[in-house]
């Protein structure tokens, strides 16, 4: 495993640890952090909450339900693409999910939680296997579909208080990241013998 992938996996773990530290602090402050850093729809005063809301959670039950899929799917994104790809995927998913929540939630609704990222990583790992067609990405895609395939139903409106908007637009953000992030290429070495020119670049 490359250094970039190891650092990316450690970054996933650090993000999850930060969520727990923040929730402990938020509990001590009586939910003040959620109010300050959560995403409030149709509020133009704090656009930066698009980046902070995924780290906030309503309570420890909410946080625990997100922690394991965040660690698993986030680590799979890290393994697939390394640190740079993981960071860009995370930012794209945050932006798309946040904008969708901001636009489609009732005005003044406060939304918190990492489920948008979870659905974004889910969408990314599924589509990336099709786009890249590398063995590692295909294996990851198959495993994600087997173990997390039922997540797809979360993009539909269901229980009150659950942000299907974050799920749907997080998933779409993951698809966008998988499709648009550039595929790295490198040339194959020249063939010894009758043909000395390099083969066309290939994906890895």
Total of domains in the chain: 1
Residue 73 lies in a domain: yes
H or E stretch including 54? none
Q: How far, in Å, CA of 159 to CA of 145, rounded?
A: 23
Residue 166 lies in a domain: yes
Check if the beta carbon of residue 72 is closer than 8 Å to that of residue 121.
no
Residue 195 lies in a domain: no
Degrees, nearest 5: CA angle 34-110-50: 75
Residue 189 lies in a domain: no
Q: What is the pLDDT of residue 69?
A: 98
Tens digits of pLDDT across the chain (204 residues):
799 999 999 999 999 999 999 999 999 999 999 999 999 999 999 999 999 999 999 999 999 999 999 999 999 999 988 999 999 999 999 999 999 999 999 999 999 999 999 999 999 999 999 998 889 899 999 999 999 999 999 999 988 889 999 999 999 999 999 999 977 554 445 545 444 444 344 343
Check if the beta carbon of residue 170 is closer than 8 Å to that of residue 114.
no
Degrees, nearest 5: CA angle 75-80-84: 85
Q: What is the pLDDT of residue 68?
A: 97
Task: Copy the structure tokens of residue 11.
Answer: 């970054």
Range of 95's domain?
Answer: 3-180
Residue 168 lies in a domain: yes
Q: What is the pLDDT of residue 158?
A: 83
Residue 51 lies in a domain: yes
Strands 185-186 and 202-203: antiparallel
CATH number of domain containing 43: 1.20.1540.10
| Cβ neighbours for 78, distance < 8 A, ≥ 6 positions apart | 5, 8, 9, 11, 12, 86
Residue 187 lies in a domain: no
Strands 110-111 and 202-203: unpaired
Q: What is the pLDDT of residue 184?
A: 56
Question: Taking the model in full, what pTM does it have?
Answer: 0.89
Residue 185 lies in a domain: no
Q: Give 91-138 pLDDT, tens digit per residue.
A: 999 999 999 999 999 999 999 999 999 999 999 999 999 998 889 899
């Amino acid at each position: 495993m490359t250094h970039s992938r190891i650092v990316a996996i450690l970054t996933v773990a650090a993000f999850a640890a930060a969520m727990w530290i923040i929730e402990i602090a938020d509990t001590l402050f009586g939910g003040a952090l959620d109010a300050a850093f959560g995403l409030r729809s149709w509020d133009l005063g704090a656009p930066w909450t698009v980046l902070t809301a995924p780290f906030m959670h309503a309570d420890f039950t909410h946080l625990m339900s997100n922690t394991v899929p965040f660690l698993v799917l986030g680590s799979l994104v890290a393994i697939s693409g390394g640190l740079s790809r993981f960071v860009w995927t995370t930012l794209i998913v945050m932006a798309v999910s946040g904008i969708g929540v901001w636009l489609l939630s009732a005005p003044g609704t406060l939304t918190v939680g990492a489920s948008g990222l979870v659905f974004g990583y889910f969408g990314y790992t599924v589509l990336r296997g099709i786009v890249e067609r590398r063995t590692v990405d295909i294996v990851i895609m198959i495993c994600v579909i087997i173990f997390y395939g039922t997540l797809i139903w979360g993009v539909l409106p269901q229980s009150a208080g659950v942000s299907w908007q974050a799920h749907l637009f997080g998933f779409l953000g993951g698809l966008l990241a998988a499709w648009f992030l550039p595929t790295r290429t490198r040339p194959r070495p020249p063939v010894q013998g009758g043909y000395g020119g390099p083969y066309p670049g290939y994906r890895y």
